């Protein structure tokens, strides 16, 4: 008889993934952490009953959250990752040799340790890159207190429940603004609009209190069920969001970075929002 993981993100909809082998299951200092194997998606990381990332489709999310802001910025040297404990985001950011320093602020050391042990394909050595500074702390407190400045801030958080809730507040976004260099960009994990539309509306309003140009871009991640996932975008320079594929290709092609989802054409297209998502930016 198969065992199944049932995601509990919504009271009215759930998804199930068959558990073929449990690799880790325990409470960390902050969250319920399970890592298991599934025939189709490979190794799966879940926190507090919610799928965080899988070997089978993580490339979509990590490539889009890393390469879109870095290629749009054009001169990013210092990147801050809030969350990202599995190491996939750091892996993609560190592919950019021009990036000199990546600070990763993850609240739960258990996620890092268990991901290193049971999900090594996600970080793929990122934790050993000399450019990476791993800080085990609350990301909200870090941006409130740090005197460091960053060109890009990637909020690779859980959903706004539990420890992740503080990473969706106007105060957090204002502190992110304080930590950005001129022309800097913030991108956020902002849920699946078809199921969590209020997250787009809330982030649009809260980011708008600190940034002149706020919008979203989209990608479909199979295990973030419900169609397009929204990624929040905030900067003070609208031009950063408006690049055509040719301009991005001129920057991206020479880098020789291998991707499975991100392309310059996708970069241009991902900011084109379906009407129902654009309408959430009320």
CA distances for 253 relative to 78, 106, 262, angstroms: 21, 32, 12
- Both tokens assigned to 210: 């600190």
**Minimum distance of ligand SAM from residue 198's CB (angstroms):** 16
Q: Which is nearer to ligand SAM, 80 or 273 (CB)?
A: 80
**Minimum distance of ligand SAM from residue 58's CB (angstroms):** 8
The DSSP-derived string for 51-80 is: EEEETTTHHHHHHHHHHHHHHHHS---EEE
Q: Which is nearer to ligand SAM, 168 or 204 (CB)?
A: 168
Q: Within a 10 A sphere around the Cβ of 2, how many other Cβ atoms?
A: 7
Q: Is 156 a catalytic residue?
A: yes
**Minimum distance of ligand SAM from residue 53's CB (angstroms):** 5
Question: Distance between CA 240 and CA 72 in Å, rounded?
Answer: 5
- Residue 242 backbone dihedrals phi, psi, to 5 degrees: -120, 70
On the CB side of 116, CA atoms within 13 Å amount to 11
CA distances for 3 relative to 37, 42, 44, angstroms: 11, 15, 14
Q: Which is nearer to ligand SAM, 53 or 103 (CB)?
A: 53
**Minimum distance of ligand SAM from residue 84's CB (angstroms):** 5
- Helical spans, DSSP H, in 74-192: 88-93, 109-118, 120-123, 139-145, 170-179
**Minimum distance of ligand SAM from residue 41's CB (angstroms):** 14
Give the DSSP letter of residue 130.
T
- Both tokens assigned to 204: 């649009």
Q: Which is nearer to ligand SAM, 76 or 167 (CB)?
A: 167
Q: Which is nearer to ligand SAM, 50 or 234 (CB)?
A: 50
Angle (CA) 216-217-223 rounded to 5° is 115
Catalytic residue among 86, 156, 159, 175: 156
Residues lying near ligand SAM in the complex (CB under 6 A) are found at 47, 52-53, 61, 82-86, 105-108, 111, 138-140, 156-158, 163-164, 166-167, 189
Catalytic residues: 156
């Amino acid at each position: 008889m198969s065992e199944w993981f049932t995601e509990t993100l919504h009271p009215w909809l759930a998804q199930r993934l068959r558990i073929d082998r449990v690799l880790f299951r325990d409470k960390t200092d902050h969250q319920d952490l399970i890592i298991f194997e599934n025939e189709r998606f490979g190794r799966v990381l879940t926190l507090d009953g919610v799928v965080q990332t899988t070997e089978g489709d993580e490339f979509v999310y990590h490539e889009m959250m890393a390469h879109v802001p870095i290629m749009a910025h054009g001169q990013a040297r210092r990147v801050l990752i809030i969350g990202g404990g599995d190491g996939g985001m750091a892996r993609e950011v560190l592919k950019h040799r021009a990036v000199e320093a990546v600070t990763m602020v993850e609240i739960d050391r258990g996620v890092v340790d268990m991901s290193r042990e049971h999900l090594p394909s996600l970080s793929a050595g990122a934790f050993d890159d000399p450019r990476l500074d791993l800080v085990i702390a609350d990301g909200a407190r870090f941006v409130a207190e740090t005197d460091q400045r960053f060109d890009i801030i990637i909020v690779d958080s859980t959903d706004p429940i539990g420890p992740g809730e503080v990473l969706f507040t106007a105060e957090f976004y204002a502190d992110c603004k304080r930590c950005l260099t001129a022309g800097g960009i913030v991108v956020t994990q902002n849920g699946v609009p078809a199921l969590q539309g209020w997250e787009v509306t809330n982030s649009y309003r809260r980011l708008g209190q600190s940034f002149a140009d706020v919008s979203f871009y989209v990608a479909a991640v199979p295990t973030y069920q419900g169609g397009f996932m929204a990624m929040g975008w905030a900067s003070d320079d609208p031009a950063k969001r408006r690049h055509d594929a040719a301009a991005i290709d001129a920057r991206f092609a020479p880098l020789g970075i291998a991707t499975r989802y991100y392309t310059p054409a996708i970069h241009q297209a991902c900011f084109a929002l379906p009407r129902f998502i654009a309408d959430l930016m009320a």
